Chain A
Amino acid sequence: MSGAEAARRAFAPNWQGRAALAALAIYSVYAASQLDIGLERIWHGFSEAGAFLGRMVPPNFTRWQLLLDGMLESLQIAFISSAVGIVLSLPIALLAARNLMPWWVSAPARAFIGFCRSLHYVIVAILFVKAIGFGVLAGICALVVASIGFISKLFAEAIEEISPKQVEAVRATGAGFAAVLLYGVLPQVASRFVGFCIYQIDSNLRNSTMVGIVGAGGIGGTLFAAFKRFDYDFVAAILLVIIALIFAAELVATRVRAALR
């Protein structure tokens, strides 16, 4: 290839890319028309948004008692569901690791994890609300399911990536299965397990503020009620507190990660 030809190729128009972009644009127009989203609707919406934001300021903290109760309940949901979820996901992950268990144990465990992961936590929360009634218990159960799905999937993958040498060395000393687990397997993956747990506690905190929307306890119920009654200044107060909690949780998580390293 001569130099001139290469130079021409380097900046040639990318027809494939342009065609893909055009297809994307056509799809957008088609989908927008299917969903009945027109320009004037968007325009109208954004003029409404001004009024909406105007009603949100200043945030109204006069019902702080209600706000505090909801937040504390969310925290309780997050703590308990994280603890139960972590305790349950440890054995489930061990069962699901294909290098520790025969296939007839790991396959059902993996299917169970996949099932826990497939449904959104709010949908799981609705099902629990319908089955066992309104309140924090439904929220806790929903977040336990979500925690099992996340932690045991990643932990099982981490176990499958361990080096077999240490396991074989421990086994060669005549150690039983429990000792192999304790001294050959777990030391290799303990720090990753702690990392997954901290991540999941963080997301349980976020999610515990949301499960209340479907009646599963926590601040979400208060938030949804405030939205329905057009108490937008109270909504703003709740949102500010939730965002503050999430920021605080992120700071604490960073510190804890450093301390447990």
Chain B
Amino acid sequence: MTGIAGPIARELRGPTAPLMREWTRFSPRQRLARYTVWLAIVAALVWSVRSIEIIPEFLWDAPEQMADLLVRMWPPDLRYYPDAVHAALIETIHIATLGTILSFGMAVPLALLASRVITPFAVLNGFAQLLLVASRSVNTLVWALVFVAVFGPGAAAGVMAVAFRSIGFVGKLLAEALDETASGPVEALRAAGAPWGSVVLKGYWPQVQPAFWGIALFRWDINVRESAVLGLVGAGGIGVVLDDALNFFQWDKAATVLLAIFAVVIVAEIFVTRVRARLI
């Protein structure tokens, strides 16, 4: 963007005109927008700091209290692992995996509906997009609260919560992958008189397959992390054990649970990286 300052405006007509221009990075309007953003950020911060209710004593001795907690947690008592933690850990992994599989069962039809190239009806596209956005805008923990209210406490609620939160994520990415496919193979199949099912299976599927596995692994990794906290609202898994340990002040047991979660998250990440390198 260029702005032309007043005093040199007279020089504009000569051959040196381009040299006399004053070059600025932003137009006045852009500058105003930037200042507004910064001002809004500062105002929001000042308001937050002035009106938030923090007890100063809590703030000052926070480091001390944290250190105290860590001392009480150390060393973790691994004797709890075989009979209290292990089963819950396996349950967490089952919840994450089953939830991911279930979410794909529901997300694939929605992605087919949401993709413009597969479903040429704008109304259906919009409807599917709306369902996907609704699924994404509700947090996993809220879905878990809802399904605990519906199914009662337990792993079933956790599986449903993981599945319903994942639908939006998986469906959105799959629909985008479908929209980006090349039309050549599809048109060739259509020209040969292939029915709709064959067009999808042999025209679209091979093109979105890498994206599909990538999305599945990525979401499974996220779900393993998220299913560890579902137990805090009663939706099964290792979170239940953590919650109990914390409520009974069994710090060494809580530390064992945290170590187990830590280990599973890292193992899942390594697994996903390995499989992705091999598949894609």
Q: Which of these binds chain A: B12-20, B31-39, B120-128, B167-175? A: B31-39
- Chain A, residue nearest B101 (CB): A28
Query: Given the interface contacts A135-B53, A213-B141, A232-B149, does A80 sit within 8 Å of B58 by beta carbon?
Result: no
Contact with B along A101-133 (1 / 0, CB 8 A): 000000000000000001110110011101111
For A49, give its contact among B53, B138, B150, B236 (CB under 8 Å): B150
For A76, give its contact among B51, B59, B138 (CB under 8 Å): B51
CA distance A131 to B90 in the complex (A): 29
Q: Is B191 an interface residue (CB 8 A)?
A: no
A141 touches B62 (CB 8 A): yes
For B62, give its contact among A35, A72, A131 (CB under 8 Å): A131
B66 touches A132 (CB 8 A): yes
Query: Given the interface contacts A37-B159, A206-B139, does A137 sit within 8 Å of B48 by beta carbon?
Result: no
Q: Is A75 an interface residue (CB 8 A)?
A: yes
Contacts of B30 in A (CB 8 A): 259
For B45, give its contact among A11, A48, A80, A246 (CB under 8 Å): A80
Contacts of B97 in A (CB 8 A): 27, 31
Query: Given the interface contacts A45-B150, A239-B138, does A130 sit within 8 Å of B51 by beta carbon?
Result: no
B94 touches A123 (CB 8 A): no
Contacts of A210 in B (CB 8 A): 139, 141-142
Q: Is A183 an interface residue (CB 8 A)?
A: no
- Chain B, residue nearest A133 (CB): B58
Main secondary structure of the interface of A (DSSP, over half): helix
Contacts of B59 in A (CB 8 A): 137
Q: Is B108 an interface residue (CB 8 A)?
A: no
Contacts of B225 in A (CB 8 A): 120
Distance in Å: Cβ of A137 to nearest Cβ of chain B = 5
Contacts of B66 in A (CB 8 A): 128, 131-132
Q: Which of these binds chain A: B75-83, B110-118, B260-268? A: B260-268
Contacts of B55 in A (CB 8 A): 133, 135, 137
B65 touches A131 (CB 8 A): yes
Q: Which of these binds chain A: B3-11, B176-184, B227-235, B270-278? A: B227-235
Query: Given the interface contacts A36-B154, A118-B265, A119-B262, does A132 sit within 8 Å of B65 by beta carbon?
Result: yes
A132 touches B58 (CB 8 A): yes
Of the candidates B94, B138, B147, the one having the most CB atoms from chain A within 10 angstroms of its own CB is B94
B156 touches A35 (CB 8 A): yes
Contacts of A28 in B (CB 8 A): 98, 101
Contacts of A256 in B (CB 8 A): 37
CA distance A48 to B157 in the complex (A): 13
CA distance A133 to B101 in the complex (A): 39
B151 touches A130 (CB 8 A): no
CA distance A224 to B141 in the complex (A): 10
A224 touches B229 (CB 8 A): no
Q: Is A199 an interface residue (CB 8 A)?
A: no
- Chain A, residue nearest B158 (CB): A35
Contacts of A76 in B (CB 8 A): 47-48, 51-52
13 contacts between A and B (CB under 8 A): A24-B101, A35-B94, A41-B156, A52-B146, A52-B149, A75-B48, A120-B228, A126-B246, A130-B246, A135-B58, A206-B139, A227-B145, A246-B137
Task: Give 18 A-B pairs besides A31-B94, A132-B61 with Cβ atoms closer than 8 angstroms.
Answer: A10-B202, A27-B97, A27-B101, A34-B91, A36-B154, A37-B98, A37-B159, A72-B51, A79-B48, A80-B48, A119-B261, A126-B242, A126-B246, A132-B58, A136-B53, A213-B141, A214-B232, A259-B37
Please give me the 10 A-B residue pairs with the lowest Cβ-Cβ distance, nearest first. Answer: A259-B33, A35-B155, A76-B48, A131-B69, A79-B48, A45-B151, A31-B94, A122-B229, A76-B52, A132-B62
